[in-house]
Amino acid sequence: MYEKLPFPFTLLLKQYRYWRRKLLQLLAIKGRTAWIYSPYCQTHFAGEEHPESPQRTLAIEQALRKSGLWRLMQRIEASEVSDIQLSRVHTRNYLSYLESQVPETGKVKINEDTYLSKDTLCAARFAAGAAIKAVDMVMKPHAKNAFCAIRPPGHHASSDKASGFCFINNVAVAAMHAIAEYRLERVAIVDFDVHHGDGTEEIFQDDERVMFLSSFEYPLYPFSGLNFSGSNPNVINSPLKAGDGSEVFRDMVRQHWLPRLAAFRPQMIFLSAGFDAHKDDTLSHLNLTEADFEWLTKKIMLIANRHANGRIVSVLEGGYNIKSLAASAKAHIACLIKASPFM
């Protein structure tokens, strides 16, 4: 057993931490990268063989602990999203429908391979709450940036439909929170999941305050992203074909994303951080590596530093090979951590 610290030392330590926090606030220096989580997110269970498993976030945490990065982050437990916050993105009828489908035991098939268990809706509400908390942490001088280690994912959930393992569109809820509560006029969502973020696109298809950039393999589920019918001129879809790797992906980002993103001058950048475009992920056929996710993160951070005071909220989406997910997310988060003044 460890000996308890003497009372005077404990008091001095508390006072030191208090005054350090006050000084950093006074100097407008933001704190360490925030790891936003909720234990409720681990309760969603779609089945033993389902790729969207509780092991996903645990693997990322273990990789960060093993690398020594874990101690450089602040861990923040999320609260549940409110009905008002959800109503900015999803219809009341859809939310009522989800509640009506929650089973007492087992699971219910909602859409194709999207299953609702008795704990799913609770997990989804806390996942969205984590994205809300991340916005609050970054907008106030409490964190330089944040990573939301949450599940179920969200970018396939549209305003009125669950799809592709997703029930609540976490990144959309967070983006609308930033607009509604902090009066931001321009926010960007960069979605590098291997599947097109069709739900996010549908939600913001006519909202010019939101820039949406999505790279994805095509043809691949949800088989969308080629024909955009909305009025928002800030939607940029970038399809990739099976077999494409680092060179094609990086050229696309340089030519199509970075100039448009810089011209948009976002006041906050959200990342729909899917790592299933990795060459080892069996749900896709692209050939990206950890180095590509690291490279992209650094490029986005440069624009965030120039236009958004470094504000980045990264929200976990896909990534289903546990080993490549952990390695890729670690590389991504390491970049975020290096932006902190505590490094």
Catalytic positions? 156
Dist CA 260 CA 243 (whole Å):
26
User: Which among 181, 182, 171 is positioned nearest to 214, based on CA atoms?
Assistant: 171
Dist CA 277 CA 95 (whole Å):
31
User: Which among 283, 292, 86 is positioned nearest to 173, based on CA atoms?
Assistant: 86
Dist CA 41 CA 119 (whole Å):
9
Amino acid at 158: S
Dist CA 228 CA 241 (whole Å):
19
Greatest alpha-carbon span in the chain: 67
Dist CA 298 CA 315 (whole Å):
16
Dist CA 256 CA 211 (whole Å):
13
Q: Which residues pair with 270 in a beta bridge?
A: 189, 313
